[in-house]
Amino acid sequence: MCGIVGYIGAREAQSVLLQGLEKLEYRGYDSAGIAVYDGSVIRVKKRLGRLSNLEEQLNGHGLPGSVGIGHTRWATHGRPSDENAHPHEDCSGHFVVVHNGIIENYRMLREQLRREGHRFRSETDSEVVAHLIESLYDGDLLGTVLKAANRLRGAYALVVMSVREPDRLVAVRKHSPLVVGLGEGENFIASDIPALLSYTRRVYVLDEGEVADVTASRVACYRLDGTGVDKQVLEVTWDMAAAEKAGYEHFMLKEIYEQPKAIADTLTGRLAEDNRAVLPELGWDEDTARQIDRIHIIACGTAYHAGMVGRQILERLTRIPVEVEVASEYRYREPVYTENTLVIAVSQSGETADTLAALREAKSRGRRVLAITNVVGSSVAREADDVVITQAGPEIAVASTKAYTTQLVAFYLFACYLARLRGSADPEAIRGILEAVRGLPEAVSKVLDTAPAMKQFARRFAWKESAFFIGRGLDYVAALEGALKLKEISYIHAEAYAAGELKHGTLALIAEGVPVIALATQDHLYEKTVSNIKEVKARDAYVLALTWAGDGEMATVADEVLYLPRTNPWVAPVVVAVPLQLLAYYAAVERGNDVDKPRNLAKSVTVE
């Protein structure tokens, strides 16, 4: 997945496609390619790496023609390579496709098409679409694409072009954004508005399950069942900077709001209808799962906090002892392994130097390593024995938001998967957790409605010198992440404490008006957390409490209460993370900070 551009009109398509892809570079990608119809055949050029690599290849060997499609890829299936870059062709080169998203049933379709004689050139799920259209083509490209789309499962945005009908492009949206730009004697397609702004500000935004049949002179829209749709033209008034952020003031805020989709994408193909965790990328059997007798989790920063949640859910469901270690410390303490210790390395970028060094330490000792990362072709992904890829998509802001919540989801899936293979937990308990995981996109969407309340609270305490976060159990881990977010972008001194530790020294720091954010989502620890809140209130702290909707007691204890949609307490760290991200964001904005690029920090820490 990442960026899509399509053009049909009178201009040279190559320049339109390259310029559009350049406007989408902010989204992150690992390869780029374009396909242009030259009057007789569709010519495809694609290269690993930056868009400049593709432009260098095209220099002096351009692709003439006025119809084309282009793509920048963020790898999900198959390593980053020239062969796996988009666009993808069928066997004959008559049908060419670009695709964002995930085709869940691509393995089944690939095998069926292979039996029919189709030859595949890449490792991707996307190439299946080109061959499927070739197999189904009946002389009508629109009708064929509709038939193909109804056989695909997953989340995708597609644009298809064909030698057979070179005067049209067909685009499909299912759970992945697409817009159509409207011109005079020309039309455009893109996955995001910035790619179009140099040419038009009049767009159709395709809604879920819609298809656009695009020629140079007209655009017709349909639903997947073939019925027509009347679209309203959107007049874009954003400037380019705002367009890249989809109208949000900062990338961080945009990425906070992308979390329902990022979580849904991470679940795609991994959660069966009967609430079983399915991780086809692992393919472990019962013997493999039962041999594991110890787990070490290594990570840094936000990923370390995800690992702390992972430890609790893994120990609860698998009964395997789990250690969590800051990666920068791991290899210097001579960790003790058993013969069957599994090491889990967690890294958003997959290039975190400390995590990579710790991974190599474990590998040098002969240990099996599982990576949880967001980047397919990263060093961590390449060097691990097994990989679970989160589907957060590119994360631009330095402060991690959607990468963190998708790492949590990956841990829930893996813990339930491993527990089922080991037979170590009550199947009903596993199903209950996974049912709650399935509901996380909707729950997070509801939590985003708390933004006005968090903005108001942030304004009141943005100029305080210190803030404290408290919680018990999983709420303590969530408090650690909340404090990290606040200090890394607002520069407010923030600390998180296990609430039961307050009386062992921390209460000395509590004074009148000091903000305390108290988390109370763990039902079995609720009464003890309330007692701890009373302790800080007795010292005149100002308390914001986060607890479940329907709670009738907390309002009598705390100064303010934020009510969250109730879910299984095991998945509460995902739900709690969102308002704490918003709190940090609005505090940073109030203080006039550079939210996306906080001082002294980098997105990917590639030095020790």
Predicted local confidence at residue 371, as pLDDT? 97
Predicted local confidence at residue 375, as pLDDT? 80
Predicted local confidence at residue 604, as pLDDT? 55
Predicted local confidence at residue 236, as pLDDT? 83
Euclidean distance between CA atoms 519 and 179, whole angstroms: 41
Q: Which CATH architecture has domain 2-244?
A: 4-Layer Sandwich (3.60)
Catalytic residue among 2, 221, 300, 416: 2
Predicted local confidence at residue 116, as pLDDT? 94
E strand intervals along 455-505:
466-471, 493-498
| Chosen CATH of 253-438 out of 3.40.50.2300, 3.40.50.10490, 3.30.413.10, 2.60.40.10 | 3.40.50.10490
Predicted local confidence at residue 382, as pLDDT? 87
Whether residue 2 lies in the annotated active site? yes
Q: How many CA atoms lie within 13 A of 509 on its CB side?
A: 17
Predicted local confidence at residue 579, as pLDDT? 97
Predicted local confidence at residue 608, as pLDDT? 55
Predicted local confidence at residue 1, as pLDDT? 52
Predicted local confidence at residue 537, as pLDDT? 87
φ, ψ of residue 451 to 5 degrees: the values are -55, -45
Residue-wise pLDDT for 337-351, tens only, equals 999 999 999 998 888
Whether the Cβ atoms of residue 23 and residue 34 lie closer than 8 Å to each other: no
Euclidean distance between CA atoms 596 and 398, whole angstroms: 6
Whether residue 231 lies in the annotated active site? no
Write out 508-529 in H/E/C secondary structure: HHCCCCCEEEEEECCHHHHHHH
Mean pLDDT score of the chain: 92
- Quote the crossing angle between the two packed helices 572-590 and 451-461, to the nearest 10°: 50
**Domain range annotation of the chain:** 2-244, 253-438, 446-590
Whether the Cβ atoms of residue 18 and residue 70 lie closer than 8 Å to each other: yes
φ, ψ of residue 55 to 5 degrees: the values are -65, -35
Q: Looking at the domain that runs over 446-590, which CATH code has it been given?
A: 3.40.50.10490
Q: Residues in the chain with pLDDT < 50?
A: 606-607
Catalytic residue among 446, 487, 528, 603: 603
3-state helix, strand, coil in the chain (%, to 5): 40, 25, 35
Would the CATH topology of 253-438 be identical to that of 446-590? yes
Predicted local confidence at residue 507, as pLDDT? 74
Predicted local confidence at residue 154, as pLDDT? 85
Euclidean distance between CA atoms 131 and 120, whole angstroms: 8
* Joined tokens for residue 220: 């017709």
